[in-house]
Amino acid sequence: MEKLSQTRAPIYEALEAFRKQRVVPFDVPGHKRGRGNPELAELLGEKCVGMDVNSMKPLDNLCHPISVIREAEELAAEAFGAAHAFLMVGGTTSAVQSMVLSTVKRGEKIILPRNVHRSVMGAMVLCGAIPVYVNPECDDRLGIPLGMSVKAVEKAILENPDAKAVLVNNPTYYGICSDLRSIVALAHAHGMLCLADEAHGTHFYFGDNLPASAMACGADMAAVSMHKSGGSLTQSSLLLTGPEVHEGYVRQIINLTQTTSGSYLLLSSLDISRRNLALRGKEIFEKVIRMAEYAREEINQIGGYYAYGKEICNGDSIYDFDITKLSVHTREIGLAGIEVYDLLRDEYDIQIEFGDLGNILAYLSIGDRPRDIERLVSALSEVRRRFGGPSVGLLSQEYIEPKVIVSPQTAFYAEKESLPLKESAGRVCSEFVMCYPPGIPILAPGEKITEEILEYIVYAKDKGCSMTGPEDPDIERLNVLKGV
């Protein structure tokens, strides 16, 4: 077998060769290289729409790759230290759901933190798995959920020896990492798989002085958002697997839900981005780390804000911290994170990743520049001066421990009724409620609705959080299980 070379980008190379052939298209897509949709061609450029093509023999097929896509997957697996890598065009949501669906079936248990992304909950609705939640510890000052402690995971494993897998966030949205290596060892010692949601950890595979990656820790599967910190196009992702995972079965699971018309724009962006990270990743992320550390230092000098870093590590529930994440606590300047988020956008033309009730996250990655950091720091200083005040009356707690009554699948498909928000206390929810981003459910199907949760929902709405999930777009009503 020919040795792999990370200088190659086989999908991109095949597309370039195909483009030069000037083939007459009597296949889909119907815009026929942009000729049928001139406004789209003008928006995206002729080269872009010209490369928006369908699967064909020279370009391979994502559902059953045997040539250039297969080679691109092998290169990705080598670059990320995995036994196999699957190119995903349905976002990391698709990768996470394929990972869970490959691991647990109806009625089987999976151990996981409650502060998981909605994609994990969605997978449980689809497959009927039973969640065993390990409630993460919380930081009272920051008001955010932390990682899972090893002792809490061990307790859950011992109490649920029939569980099939343990799922870990690596890292959380805020940059917090659990002791993944120890959790992997625990899971394997009890015959369970360990899965990692690495939507925000692509750079762990290529940077120095960053937390350990899932594959380096021996995890069995990891969903990796290449488009977040890896530089590929939005919606492109990777699913990585270890040596004990059956590649053919995972491919079958992926093909249950992933499109049969994989976008070659997304696939080539994965290919090119993998090559870029494999060849220059360490140098790239060294610069990102320097920018993040500089920004953290400058923001902390403004006063009132707290841009946290590795000093919050405690060796367990905060085993490590991703220093590229510019997470900033805002409550002490008298503003909720979502209020700072809105002010930065509306007053200073700065779009950050998200704001919750007490924190903001500015996402730094390979495309950021030092002058943009200066602009952000200056704007935060102005926000404090112009809009800051006392922190009286601001809600602090971000994590509310759930009370699971029935499985997500049972609740989602059960007979239900719609109630006004205030009348739903004490009932069992049959839908999702979340602030997006980050997309961590406040309520998930099968969980009991409490007064505390309702208070949180109303407060988050009033502060301007973007609420998603329920059937009622205004979130004035909730669907609950009938008669429960």
Residue 16 in any domain: the answer is: no
Q: Are residues 113 and 236 in the same domain?
A: yes
CATH number at residue 298: 3.90.1150.10
Q: Are residues 270 and 147 in the same domain?
A: yes
Q: Are residues 189 and 334 in the same domain?
A: no
Residue 167 in any domain: the answer is: yes
- 89, 67 contact by CB (below 8 A): no
> In this structure, what token pair is assigned to residue 207?
């940077």
Residue 7 in any domain: the answer is: no
Per-residue pLDDT of the chain in tens (484 residues, 90 and over written 9): 467 899 999 999 999 999 888 888 888 999 998 899 999 999 999 999 999 999 999 999 999 999 999 999 999 999 999 999 999 999 999 999 999 999 999 999 999 998 899 999 999 999 999 999 998 888 888 888 899 999 999 999 999 999 999 999 999 999 999 999 999 999 999 999 999 999 999 999 999 999 999 999 999 999 999 999 999 999 999 999 999 999 999 999 999 999 999 999 999 999 999 999 999 999 999 999 999 999 999 999 999 999 999 999 999 999 999 999 999 999 999 999 999 999 999 999 999 999 988 999 999 999 999 999 999 999 999 999 999 998 777 766 556 778 899 999 999 999 999 999 999 999 999 999 988 767 788 899 999 999 999 998 998 888 888 888 899 988 999 999 998 7
pTM confidence score? 0.94
Total domains, the chain: 3
- For β-strands 221-224 and 237-241, DSSP reports them as antiparallel
- Look at residue 175 and give its three-state secondary structure: coil
Burial class (CB in 10 A: 0-12, 13-18, 19+), 247: middle
What 149-154 contacts at long range (C-beta under 8 Å, 24+ apart), as own/partner pairs, is 149/178, 149/316, 149/317, 150/178, 150/179, 150/182, 150/183, 150/186, 150/316, 151/316, 153/111, 153/183, 153/186, 154/186
Q: Are residues 454 and 469 in the same domain?
A: yes
Closest CA to 287 of 203, 384, 212, 219: 203
**CA–CA separation, 280 and 11 (whole Å):** 20
Residue 401 in any domain: the answer is: no
Contacts of 278 (CB under 8 A, 6+ apart): 6, 75, 79, 206
Residue 89 in any domain: the answer is: yes
Q: Are residues 268 and 147 in the same domain?
A: yes
Q: In sequence order, what are the beta bridge partners of 144?
A: 139
| Angle between the N-to-C axes of helices 264-302 and 370-387, in degrees from 0 to 180, rounded to the nearest 10 | 50
**Domain span holding position 206:** 81-275
Q: Are residues 337 and 213 in the same domain?
A: no
Residue 100 in any domain: the answer is: yes
Q: Are residues 182 and 309 in the same domain?
A: no
CATH number at residue 416: 3.90.100.10
